[in-house]
Amino acid sequence: MPILLETTSLTQYAGERLLFQTDPLAIYEGDRIGLVGPNGSGKSTLLSILSGRLRPDEGTVRARCPIAFFVQLGPGEETPGAEELSRFGLRDAHAPADRMSGGEQSRRKLAASLGKNAPLLFADEPTSNLDFEGIELFCRRMERQDTFLLVSHDRAVLDRLCTQIWELREGRLFRYEGGYNAFERQKEEELARRRFEAAAYVKEKERLERSMQSLREKQSAVRRAPSRMGNSETRLHKRSETDTQSKIAQGRKAIESRLARLEKKEAPREPEAVHFDFSLTDPPENKIPLRAEHLTLSAGNKRLLENAAFEVRRGEHVLLYGPNGCGKTTLLQFLCESILHGNPQVFSAPKLRPGYFRQSLGNLDPGRTVLENAMRQAVQSEGTVRSLLARLLFRREDVFRPVSVLSGGERVKLSFACLLVSSANFLLLDEPTNYLDMDSMRALQETLAQYEGGFLLVTHDRRFADALAETTLAFENKRLTRYEGGPSAMERAKAAPKQEKEPMEQKVLELRLAEVISRLSLPNCPDKEALEEEFQALLRLKREAARGK
């Protein structure tokens, strides 16, 4: 395969701090590369260097073909063509940006970048503002792109599209063959090997130290010659004692040498265990703590929901699903206000207390430290708060950093932590994974999975949603339709042939008909007139169902 881009060793600094240092790199035709790494590791900077937009502090880059470059921030490169726009579900190439949602703007910029049909494409977080439909359209279009380097925190997208993963970590670039799932398996194998090597190191060190202690004890136990011995016996005893001491000294020296040569192996840092006392939030005992009926919701002149109904069961983890602009954020805001101040369309248990995660991160005080912010409204103990912060990768002295110096991803994690340790017992989460790196996203996912309270979640990260959602409420025809499981389970249910669903509906009809007949047969039947009307209605439904077959 021909080389499309190659570099010498690259070195880049951020101020005086070394950002990364790479070995020589090459991108061949057909390479489909995902670039991952912690927040601040230099992924976007590396993309800018490889594209020629930024000169490295050390090293050179040689591109042998045109490069298209998608960046989330800033204006698009050019106006896209009509055909490429249609692939992303858009029509008007000249629509003003202020009349387009963030997702629509991202689609138009993607259409422009991919419409160039460049042999090599660089894309920096292209799915950040896209809904599930937009992500699907992006993936279908990218499957036609032969060679690309993609920065993304969407694990499902990386696994679907990529055949290599490059990871920037601790200033170095590591390369792995396969998609994201293969990358995770190789990383887990690395961790398992490090755990094994660390355990073997500790075991061998302890064995050598026990041997050293045994030799010390032997050395101190070698007895001096008794005073009643004769001269010849004393000389023989001293000679034996000297030989013994010499052998022990040689043994100790050999062990000391082995201990000095023993290569130290550090065990990988294991996630911090967090144990919440959820009873401190005084949670409601109602089986259905939140319910809405005949719900109508608008944003300006746009009707979002009309006569909609839904319920959230105690401790249920629910995904709100729908395209950009359908009203997910508006619904979260409306429910938060309704729970706090009351609303005739919404029933909420008296003890239900919402914790609302907003992208504005308005619950943080930039003048206080990480720990001070987390403790400000905490009902959990300081030990629990510190454990949670450590689980979210705020370790040791990090908890004393002021919020004003935190990155966007760090602020997201802290805002989330503040909600978890507060008196809130029901969470409203609006895109909590934005700005998070993979490790932080995994920590957030594992923490939410263990959360005893219920939550409503808005996210367009498929793997995150599938892992957490027990139920999906989908915006469909200005109503909320309930599906079991996350988005993938919902799509399977919707794709199932209709006839598979009909027998269950027929059984429900037959059971209700039998119940009505049974009640009508009772002597002195109450509500006989109403039951007769229902009986006739059920018969009509049964006949219509039979004709439909």
pLDDT tens digits, residue range 5-30?
A: 999 999 999 888 899 999 999 999 99
Q: What is the pLDDT of residue 426?
A: 96
Cα gap 541→516, rounded to integer Å? 14
Domain count, the chain: 4
Which CATH number goes with the domain that contains 80? 3.40.50.300
Q: What is the pLDDT of residue 359?
A: 72
Q: Phi, psi (5° rounding) for residue 205?
A: -60, -45
Residues 408 and 512 in one domain: no
| CB-count burial class (<10 Å; 0-12, 13-18, 19+) for 310 | buried
Q: What is the pLDDT of residue 371?
A: 95
Residue 272 in domain: no
Q: How confident is the model at residue 522 (pLDDT cuts 50, 70, 90)?
A: low
Question: What b/e readout covers 90-119, taking b as 16+ CB neighbours within 10 angstroms?
Answer: beeeeeeeeebeebbbbbbbbbbbbbbebb
Q: Please check the confidence at residue 548 and state whether its pLDDT lies above 70.
A: no
- Displacement of CA 366 from its chain's centroid (Å): 25
Q: What is the pLDDT of residue 251?
A: 85
Cα gap 540→533, rounded to integer Å? 11
* The two structure tokens encoding residue 413: 């994690």
Residues 76 and 43 in one domain: yes
Residues 406 and 291 in one domain: yes
Q: What is the pLDDT of residue 236?
A: 60
SS3 category, 454: strand
Domain boundary among 476, 495, 514: 495
Lowest mean pLDDT among 219-223, 384-388, 457-461: 219-223
Q: For residue 337, what are the domain limits?
A: 280-495
Spatial contact of 318 and 268, defined as CB atoms under 8 Å apart: no
Q: Please check the confidence at residue 408 and state whether its pLDDT lies above 90.
A: no
* Strand arrangement, sheet containing 426-430: 354-357, 426-430, 454-458, 317-321, 471-476, 479-484
Residues 243 and 340 in one domain: no
Mean pLDDT calculated for residue range 444-462: 93
- What rounded mean pLDDT belongs to the chain? 86
Domain boundary among 151, 178, 205: 178
Cα gap 162→164, rounded to integer Å? 6
Domain boundary among 139, 158, 178: 178
Residue 270 in domain: no
Q: Which residues contact 525 (CB under 8 A, 6 or more apart)?
A: 519, 531
H helices of 64-168, where?
A: 82-87, 102-115, 132-142, 155-161
Q: What is the pLDDT of residue 177?
A: 95
| Radius of gyration from C-alpha coordinates of the chain | 33
- Closest listed residue to residue 106, CA positions, set 148, 60, 65, 152: 152
Q: How confident is the model at residue 496 (pLDDT cuts 50, 70, 90)?
A: confident
Residues 376 and 334 in one domain: yes
Q: What is the pLDDT of residue 215?
A: 83
Residues 345 and 245 in one domain: no
Spatial contact of 20 and 47, defined as CB atoms under 8 Å apart: no
Q: What is the pLDDT of residues 49-102, one digit of tens each?
A: 999 999 999 999 999 999 999 886 665 556 777 788 888 877 776 677 666 666
* The two structure tokens encoding residue 250: 């040689």
Residue 268 in domain: no
Q: What is the pLDDT of residue 161?
A: 96
Q: Which residue carries 């409203």 as its tokens?
A: 428
Residue 291 in domain: yes
Cα gap 519→468, rounded to integer Å? 43
Q: Which amino acid is at 74?
A: G
Residues 317 and 219 in one domain: no
Spatial contact of 105 and 126, defined as CB atoms under 8 Å apart: no
Residue 246 in domain: yes
Percent of the chain scored above 90 by pLDDT?
51
- Displacement of CA 489 from its chain's centroid (Å): 19
Residues 468 and 323 in one domain: yes
Residue 266 in domain: no
Residues 34 and 9 in one domain: yes
Q: Please check the confidence at residue 225 and state whether its pLDDT lies above 60.
A: no
Q: What is the pLDDT of residues 339-385, one digit of tens each?
A: 999 999 999 999 999 999 987 777 889 999 999 999 999 999 999 99
H helices of 347-453, where?
A: 370-375, 382-391, 408-420, 438-449
Q: What is the pLDDT of residues 326-341, one digit of tens each?
A: 899 999 999 999 999 9
Residue 436 in domain: yes
Cα gap 484→472, rounded to integer Å? 6
Residues 228 and 91 in one domain: no
Q: How confident is the model at residue 120 (pLDDT cuts 50, 70, 90)?
A: very high
Residue 509 in domain: yes
Q: Which residues contact 221 (CB under 8 A, 6 or more apart)?
A: none
Residues 341 and 388 in one domain: yes
Residues 105 and 172 in one domain: yes
